[in-house]
Amino acid sequence: MEAENELIRVRKEKLAALRQLGVEPYGGRFERTHSTQEVICNFESLEGREVALAGRLMAVREHGKATFADLHDQAGRIQLYVRLDRVGEAAYRIFTQLLDLGDILGVRGTVFRTRRGEISVEVGDFNLLCKSLRPLPEKWHGLKDVDLRYRQRYLDLIVNPEVRQVFFTRAKVLKAVRAFLDRRGFVEVETPTMHTIAGGAAARPFITHHNALDLDLYLRIALELHLKRLLVGGIEKVYEMGRIFRNEGISTKHNPEFTMLELYHAYADYHDMMDLLEEMVAFVAQEALGTTKVEYQGEVLDLTPPWPRITMLEAIKKYTGVDFAPLSQEEARRAAEGLGLELEPGLSRGKIINEVFEAAVEPHLIQPVFILDYPVDISPLAKKREDNPEFTYRFEAFIAGRELANAFSELNDPLDQRERFEAQLRERAAGNEEAHMMDEDFLRALEYGMPPAGGLGMGVDRLVMILTDSPSIRDVILFPTMRPREDGDSHK
């Protein structure tokens, strides 16, 4: 318990005083006729009529025998006008002396427009629906302290209306993604979040324990392997949008739990996935924002399809001038070092190429672009290119210098898949904690036969960041992971 400060004490005294007067400070049901927004939008027809509104009292301007106040609800704000000669002495005294900023009220009154032109409600009577005991952050500057904003998101939402807007946009994005895929015949499924084998991506998992089975379980790091089992089972167009968990560092682009969309389309390939992704992102932007040109951190991003498609090797050549295609592993290493990279010993040719790409190319990929044909040794679930088995039919989509999506023509050769897993196991044995685990049941499924398919994974949070001009992933996650604090402020 924290020490009670004077401001809280005063509010508790008002609470007691209200009860003394027979006013219940925690009301129940209140029937609204309109939202604040509706009153303002429909002023013409509502002028002079009675409305009932509810919301939080966010400002009070007292003028002796008349008082103005601001009432906020989910969609907006409206001014209240309270006159002593209309509400009566007792009610007026309650309004001006026993209410506080932050209290939740139901009001009934008459819609009118003030001399200065502001649409307002002249209050006839009001009900206290909830007495607020804690002082709110400042009305003008709001809540700036990012630590408090994330830990006490409810406060952030109360005083920073633009934050609420971000999460309304997020809701529209989720809805639009589902609408887009549903319309194309994709089936939405839910697969386990607790896995006995954490597969489908290169990442460290969280571990938890099931008591009755006395079994350690991993929180999922990807959706991939279960969704592909569904392809085996005959579901030809399938998707899941859900939370995944990776036991990694936290940054402006990484939260330990985040939302991933994965979809699989039987008999398609990665070219189909490119078509689908660019159309989906454009559709979602149109639905959520009404445009496919969005401003992100001062750059205008044009999400309108088609997006350019360029192979990884071509992209490297374009941004570094070096063509890695003909280089041997040793030559590639020297070329990378010539570009200023420091490389661990023993990296394969494919990994060296990927390092060069990440360091020299990624930061330049501001406008949406597809990067094609990733090296096979960093793509253990993707089908090899027929014309060059060192590379795969895999692409990543980049926007604003970061990866938005990852997709490939899915590997459906069970023998090849087993070899890839075995290569991953060798990496694990060599100390790479993020290398894939062997998944015998997944291999068994492939042995029954999985149709060739295109598969796609997209970071939903990152898309929301772009569409809401948010610099940090924490701005688009309501309750981001934070280290707990002893005073009990935290949520995690």
Partner RNA sequence: GCGCCAGUAGCUCAGCUGGUAGAGCAGCUGACUCUUAAUCAGCGGGUCGUGGGUUCAAAUCCUACCUGGCGCACCA
Please report, for residues 78, 204, 268, the alpha-carbon distance to residue 185 in angstroms, rounded to integers and kept in the order given. 44, 34, 14
What's the closest the beta carbon of residue 95 comes to RNA, in angstroms? 12
Q: 146-175: which residues touch RNA (CB under 7 A)? A: 146-148, 150
Q: Under the criterion CB under 7 A, does residue 444 sit at the interface with RNA?
A: no
Distance CA 66, CA 114 (A): 13
Q: How far is the CB of 206 from RNA (least distance, A)?
A: 13
Distance CA 438, CA 388 (A): 26
Number of CB atoms found within 10 A of residue 240's CB = 21
> For 231, how many CA atoms within 13 A lie in the half-sphere containing its CB?
29
How far is Cα 186 from Cα 326, in angstroms, rounded to an integer? 41
Binding mask 82-121 for RNA (x = CB under 7 A): -xxx-----------x--xx----------x-xxxxx-x-
CB of 481 to RNA, least distance (A): 8
- Smallest gap from Cβ 7 to RNA, in A, equals 5
Least separation in angstroms between CB 235 and RNA: 24
Q: How far is the CB of 22 from RNA (least distance, A)?
A: 20
* Cβ distance to RNA smaller for residue 149 or 170: 149
Nearer to RNA, 239 or 374 (CB): 374
Q: What is residue 227's three-state secondary structure?
A: helix
Please give the structure tokens belonging to residue 488: 């009990």
Q: Does 185 bind RNA (CB under 7 A)?
A: no
CA nearest to 247, candidates 191, 192, 208, 216: 208
283/277 Cα distance (integer angstroms): 10
349 contacts RNA (rule: CB under 7 A): no
Given the complex with RNA, which of 41 and 84 has the nearer CB atom?
84
219: closest CA among 231, 235, 201, 232?
A: 201
CB closer to RNA, 232 vs 278: 278
* DSSP conformation letters of 118-163: -EEEEEEEEEEEE---SPPPBTTTB---HHHHHHTHHHHHHH-HHH
Q: Is 374 in the site for RNA (CB under 7 A)?
A: yes
Q: Which stretch binds RNA (CB under 7 A): 163-171, 178-186, 299-307, 478-486?
A: 478-486
Min dist CB 423 to RNA, Å, is: 15
E strand intervals along 187-253: 187-188, 194-195, 207-210, 215-219, 237-245
Q: Is 36 in the site for RNA (CB under 7 A)?
A: no
Under the criterion CB under 7 A, does residue 249 sit at the interface with RNA?
yes
Per-residue binder mask for RNA (CB under 7 A), 376-415, x = binder: --xx----------------x------x--x---------
CA torsion 60→64→66→68, rounded to 10°?
-20
d(CA 87, CA 193): 56
Report strand pairing: 299-302 vs 293-296: antiparallel
170-178, 209-217, 292-300, 469-477 -> range binding RNA (CB under 7 A):
469-477
Subset of 284-313 contacting RNA (CB under 7 A) = none
Q: Which is nearer to RNA, 337 or 447 (CB)?
A: 337
Q: Using the rule CB under 7 A, is 61 a contact of RNA?
A: yes
Residue with tokens 């700036």: 144
Residue 65 in contact with RNA, rule: CB under 7 A: yes
- Which stretch in 185-193, 195-203, 279-287, 416-424 sits in contact with RNA by CB under 7 A? 195-203
Measured CA distances, 219 to 144, 245, 293, 435, 491 (Å): 34, 6, 37, 16, 19
Does 337 help bind RNA (rule: CB under 7 A)?
A: no
Which part of the chain contacts RNA (CB under 7 A), choosing from 143-151, 169-177, 235-243, 448-456? Answer: 143-151
Size of the site for RNA (CB under 7 A): 74
